[in-house]
């Protein structure tokens, strides 16, 4: 399951600094690999202490973590929705992502000039929001033109419902609000899913603060939290300056001490990766054997056959049953055999809904 989050933000807000920290392996714990697919795309492991613990217990030959692609999306200027600057490329890059990480400048520094002359994260947010909303409005309006006649004159129920959903979203966008906050249901969403609307994507707001504000936030962070309270979006506080300093430390122990001195449990980069994973409403299940311990990404609510299909489509087609051990039982008892002996290995069928952290083995026949 290839997952991709795009980092967006105006110039000099710290967006590229954060991306560079993500792309620097030294900034991560020992098992957070990074590789470059293209100059602006990095593949980064999702930090998971459970994978580390399973590895210690099983001692496999190979370990494979979950990953997320982080894309540094550049080129936004006012008028991007009309193709100004790198507008079309920028908007196309966002359309390809699953979620948006929106970096906002929440610090004052006379040495770092803001593109609009002053620090105002709400104004910055609105600039990007407006460009995305205008592009979505254009996309929705064009689709309405295609389905309106069928919806009003024909007997096509799907066309009629599509027209109704599009009309709700069009009105919502025209008020300066993003599609993700429109009053539509999951069933409604199916009628417009193919449009890949930019403002319907889940968003994580990253407030880039000075070192003194990294634990408590500041007045700018408070403004952001208030502005997004109706968006059901998470707000993360990070200091890109601190992350840059962490990235320069070679030793993992030195980085841990540095964080401890600042009163931080983990780096902002690690927090960002976790938050991005949560943002997409994802779960992790594990397969664990002497050959390999591996984390697998699934969407919350997946059944056992669907989870098996993430490994290979044949696993889902020929699914017979799943053997499931709860993570806490595995850690407490120390091995698969010990869990079997203690009656902690469950045999589940096609209707079993996978829980976060399940350790699974699938039986199938194709």
What residues form the annotated binding site for ATP?
Answer: 12-17
Sheet holding 282-288, edge to edge: 62-64, 292-299, 282-288, 359-364, 319-325, 345-348
Distance CA 349, CA 328 (A): 21
Characterise 151 by phi-psi region: left (phi > 0), alpha (psi -120 to 50), beta (else).
Answer: alpha
For the annotated binding site, the residues are: 12-17
Determine phi and psi for 257, rounding to 5 degrees: -65, -40
Instruction: List the Cα angle 104/107/112 in 5-degree steps.
Output: 95
Question: Radius of gyration (Cα) for the chain, nearest Å?
Answer: 23
**Residue 208 β-bridge partners:** 105, 238
Closest CA to 28 of 11, 12, 43: 43
Cα–Cα dist 55/7, whole Å: 31
Total Cβ atoms within 10 A of residue 356: 12
């Amino acid at each position: 399951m290839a997952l991709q989050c795009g980092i967006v933000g105006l110039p000099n807000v710290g967006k590229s600094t954060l991306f560079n920290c993500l792309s620097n392996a030294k900034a991560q714990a020992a098992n957070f690999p990074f590789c470059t697919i293209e100059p602006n795309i990095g593949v980064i492991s999702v930090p998971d202490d459970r994978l580390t613990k399973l590895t210690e217990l099983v001692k496999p030959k190979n370990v494979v973590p979950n990953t997320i692609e982080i894309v540094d999306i550049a080129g936004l200027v006012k008028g991007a929705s009309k193709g100004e600057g790198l507008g079309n490329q920028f908007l196309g890059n966002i359309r390809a992502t699953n979620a948006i990480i929106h970096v906002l400048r929440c610090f004052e520094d006379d040495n770092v000039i803001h593109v609009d002359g002053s620090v105002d994260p709400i104004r910055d947010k609105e600039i990007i929001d407006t460009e995305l909303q205008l592009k979505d409005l254009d996309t929705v309006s064009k689709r309405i033109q295609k389905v309106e006649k069928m919806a009003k004159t024909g007997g096509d129920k799907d066309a009629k419902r599509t027209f109704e959903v599009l009309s709700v979203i069009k009105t919502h966008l025209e008020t300066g609000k993003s599609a993700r906050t429109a009053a539509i249901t999951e069933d409604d969403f199916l009628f417009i899913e193919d449009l890949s609307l930019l403002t319907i994507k889940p968003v994580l707001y990253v407030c880039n603060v000075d070192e003194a504000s990294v634990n408590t936030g500041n007045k700018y962070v408070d403004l952001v939290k208030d502005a997004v309270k109706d968006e059901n979006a998470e707000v993360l506080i990070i200091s890109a300056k601190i992350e840059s300093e962490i990235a320069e430390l070679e030793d993992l122990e030195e980085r841990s001490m540095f964080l401890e001195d600042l009163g931080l449990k983990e780096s902002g980069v690690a927090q960002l990766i976790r938050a991005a994973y949560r943002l997409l409403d994802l779960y992790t299940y594990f397969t664990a054997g002497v050959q390999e311990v591996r984390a697998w990404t699934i969407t919350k609510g997946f059944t056992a056959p669907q989870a098996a299909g993430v490994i290979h489509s044949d696993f889902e087609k020929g699914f017979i049953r799943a053997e499931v051990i709860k993570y806490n039982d595995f850690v407490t008892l120390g091995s698969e055999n010990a869990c079997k002996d203690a009656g902690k290995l469950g045999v589940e069928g096609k209707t079993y809904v996978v829980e976060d952290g399940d350790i699974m083995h699938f039986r199938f026949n194709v």
